[in-house]
Structure 1
Amino acid sequence: MFSNRLFSRSFSAYGARNVQTASAASPALSAFGARVGLEVSQPALERAVTHKSFGDVNNAQLEILGKRVAGLFCTEYLRARYPRLPPAAFDKVLTAYIGNNSLAKYGREIGLQHVLRWDAAESEGAYHSETMSSALNAIIGLVHQEKGAEAAKKFVHAHILARDVNVSDVVKIENPKAHLSRLTTRYGKEKPLSRLLKETGRATNSAVFIVGVFSGEEKLGEGYGNSMKMAEFRACMDAINKHYLFENKDFMLPSDTLSEAEYKPVAFGDTQVIV
């Protein structure tokens, strides 16, 4: 075990390599485990928070497992929730949840930096996104290894997927007007038409235009700008985002069969971007 002295050090001192001889359990590590709801042994948790720079007994293998587990449960959830997301946009959303920077930020929020073990000579430690994210992935891998897939899924949903992530800007289209026109053709709708809905200050330096884009009588999107062109651009992007960022509110996941529930698959959406 590791002495209490190790876990009470500041970030800069804590990162330095130490040879531990005490066998007392660490209150800091116990508190961390309780805070995030980990029902695992302290020796196993110690290994999960030990970076490979610290020694031969480290979290490298658990990190590999945890990355795949987090990727599986996040991928199936996000695909079911956003069935129309194009592949490139989907990758951006997935990275926003389980990328190194995102996991490191969440790790700091839950106090992972206070129990992380690393060698300052080999790693930037608690300030380094890769070191932090590796420990969080290792914890996910540990839960999967010791408690099984269902427990790991619950952990991922509670700690990773429960966070608010802004996905409103993941779809990037260079010519949204032309793209929207092809989208409406694909789905058998009338060609989109732009209509000026409101305006103010046309003859001034602070003009504001509000444009709506319609397919027949259906308003697909709305946008504003200091010019008609800018307002139309934003209206078309609004319509495109409403299409690709459509959310399923009630769905079942393939992994729900882990609890022996009757599986009802979610239909695949049309995710291919028109080029």
Structure 2
Amino acid sequence: MLQPMKEIRAIGSICSRITPACFYHVSRPDVSLKTTYDSIKDYGSYKNNIFTHRLPESTAEQSPLLVALHSRLNLPKSYSLSTLSQALNLIKFEGLANNFGLNTLGKTLLSYYVSESLLIRYPRLPMPVHNLAIDAYMGVNTLYDTGKSWGIEVDTTTKLEKHLSQEPEFMRYGKLRFLDEPSKKTESKEPGVFELSAEELSSVKNDNTYLSREAEAYASSVRSIIGGLYTHEGEEATKSFIHNHILSRKLPLDQMFQFSKPTRELVRLAEKLQFSEPVEIRLIAETGRLSSHAMYVAGAFCGTDKLGEGIGSSLQEAKTRAVVNALMSYYLYSPVSQDGSPVKLPSDNDYKFEGIVGGGDVAI
């Protein structure tokens, strides 16, 4: 009996030592950048020992791809082409400054503005749907499509091919560079099927979703362009750019809901809101009950107040649609100000808190 107890104590001591590393995220410097610092908490002392230099503006101005991208995005004149070229460079050991810092800054700005927009516009949105909406606005696949629509090209030619074709050096500065030596894979006979290397297989998530290096590079470049705009023009220009290119898209929030037991959830929601009357599902109208194309109209009521209405080819379908529509009208509620305009965001200059707080999710 003594040996198992010793093993238990040993396991317990090991778990106590590894708990902070396993269950808490600890920010660490990028080892590949050979970062040195006086103290890990003294962020001003962080220095990267890899030699990097910024692309001269005179060289960047010779790249037609950079000039065209700058014009397509309608970037201000203060946004230098050298910064735009840096936003497209993910290679750390090339000698040119990479987009690591710009990417971090752009991701932080995107997270803030997208989150505040959803929280203020839809304060009753359940947290799982809220997270899905954020991913739909600024996820890797979304930003990949955004970068594609901006016309960003990928540098897929090797150094040998560049040498043989006598391609001017400044041409590559306007393309997305994320591979030290691009390698072309043989195309698969079946579309949508790719052969993954050992490094790419390690990036496959638990839910079998795979993000290619190209998609992550495109997303990084989009975030870096946003970060570069903040460094040159400040917060207002960056906020306007994000609203025009990211938040302006129509997001089908109603298609992100999936209710397993909608009637029970509506009853729990009514109890949480302390409705004085119980929830009832009533038949409002019907036609062709004995025909092959019957139609029913049902409504979800709380006393004399109608919470939702649904139409179906069967009575059960109409009742279910009425309950779901009642839930959707609650969760997708969007507040307005006293003059009927949308409420202001916390990042607006004349913002004033108007008491908009979500009630939280309903426990079934």
The reply to whether TM is greater than 0.5 is yes
Q: TM-score, normalised on structure 2?
A: 0.62
Cα deviation 1:59-100 (Å, max 9, x = unaligned): 222111111110001111111111111111111111111111
Match of residue 242, structure 1, among 329, 334, 340: 329
User: Counterparts of 1:234 and 1:59 in 2: how far apart (Å)?
Assistant: 49
Aligned to 1:255: 347
Aligned to 1:172: 258
AA in 2 matched with 1:50: N
Aligned to 1:3: none
AA in 2 matched with 1:154: S
Tell whether the 8 Å contact from 1:96 to 1:102 is kept in structure 2 after alignment.
yes
AA in 1 matched with 2:218: M
For residue 266 of structure 1, report the CA deviation from its aligned partner.
Answer: 4.0
Instruction: Describe the shift of the 1:215–1:58 C-alpha distance in structure 2 as closer, same or farther (beyond 3 A).
Output: same
Tell whether the 8 Å contact from 1:213 to 1:236 is kept in structure 2 after alignment.
yes
User: Counterparts of 1:95 and 1:116 in 2: how far apart (Å)?
Assistant: 26
Aligned to 1:147: 233
RMSD: 2.7
Tell whether the 8 Å contact from 1:52 to 1:60 is kept in structure 2 after alignment.
no
Tell whether the 8 Å contact from 1:113 to 1:132 is kept in structure 2 after alignment.
no
For residue 238 of structure 1, report the CA deviation from its aligned partner.
Answer: 0.8
For residue 42 of structure 1, report the CA deviation from its aligned partner.
Answer: 0.3
Match of residue 183, structure 2, among 112, 117, 121: 121
Tell whether the 8 Å contact from 1:126 to 1:132 is kept in structure 2 after alignment.
no
Match of residue 25, structure 1, among 53, 62, 69: 62
Tell whether the 8 Å contact from 1:253 to 1:265 is kept in structure 2 after alignment.
no
Q: TM-score, normalised on structure 1?
A: 0.81
Aligned to 2:358: 269
Gaps of 5+ in 1: 1-19
AA in 2 matched with 1:162: S
User: What number of residue pairs does the alignment pair up?
Assistant: 250
Gaps of 5+ in 2: 1-54, 155-173, 185-199, 201-210, 337-341
Cα deviation 1:83-135 (Å, max 9, x = unaligned): 11111111111111111111222222222347542233399x99932221111
The question of 1:45 aligning with 2:84 is answered yes
Q: Counterpart of 2:283 in 1: which secondary structure?
A: strand
User: Counterparts of 1:262 and 1:100 in 2: how far apart (Å)?
Assistant: 33
Give % identity.
33
Aligned to 2:99: 59
Match of residue 76, structure 1, among 116, 124, 133: 116
User: Counterparts of 2:183 and 2:232 in 1: how far apart (Å)?
Assistant: 32
User: Counterparts of 1:210 and 1:131 in 2: how far apart (Å)?
Assistant: 51
AA in 1 matched with 2:146: Y
Q: Counterpart of 1:169 in 2: which secondary structure?
A: helix
Q: Counterpart of 2:254 in 1: which secondary structure?
A: coil
User: Counterparts of 1:135 and 1:266 in 2: how far apart (Å)?
Assistant: 37
Q: Counterpart of 2:347 in 1: which secondary structure?
A: helix
Tell whether the 8 Å contact from 2:152 to 2:176 is kept in structure 1 after alignment.
no
User: Counterparts of 1:233 and 1:221 in 2: how far apart (Å)?
Assistant: 10
Cα deviation 1:121-179 (Å, max 9, x = unaligned): 399x9993222111101111111122222222121112111111111122332111011
Cα deviation 1:163-206 (Å, max 9, x = unaligned): 11111122332111011112122223222211223334434454
Tell whether the 8 Å contact from 1:65 to 1:141 is kept in structure 2 after alignment.
yes
The question of 1:218 aligning with 2:280 is answered no
User: Counterparts of 2:281 and 2:94 in 1: how far apart (Å)?
Assistant: 63
Cα deviation 1:211-243 (Å, max 9, x = unaligned): 211112222112233322222112111111110
The question of 1:158 aligning with 2:244 is answered yes
User: Counterparts of 1:52 and 1:171 in 2: how far apart (Å)?
Assistant: 40
Instruction: Describe the shift of the 1:53–1:198 C-alpha distance in structure 2 as closer, same or farther (beyond 3 A).
Output: farther
AA in 2 matched with 1:222: E
Tell whether the 8 Å contact from 2:269 to 2:362 is kept in structure 1 after alignment.
no
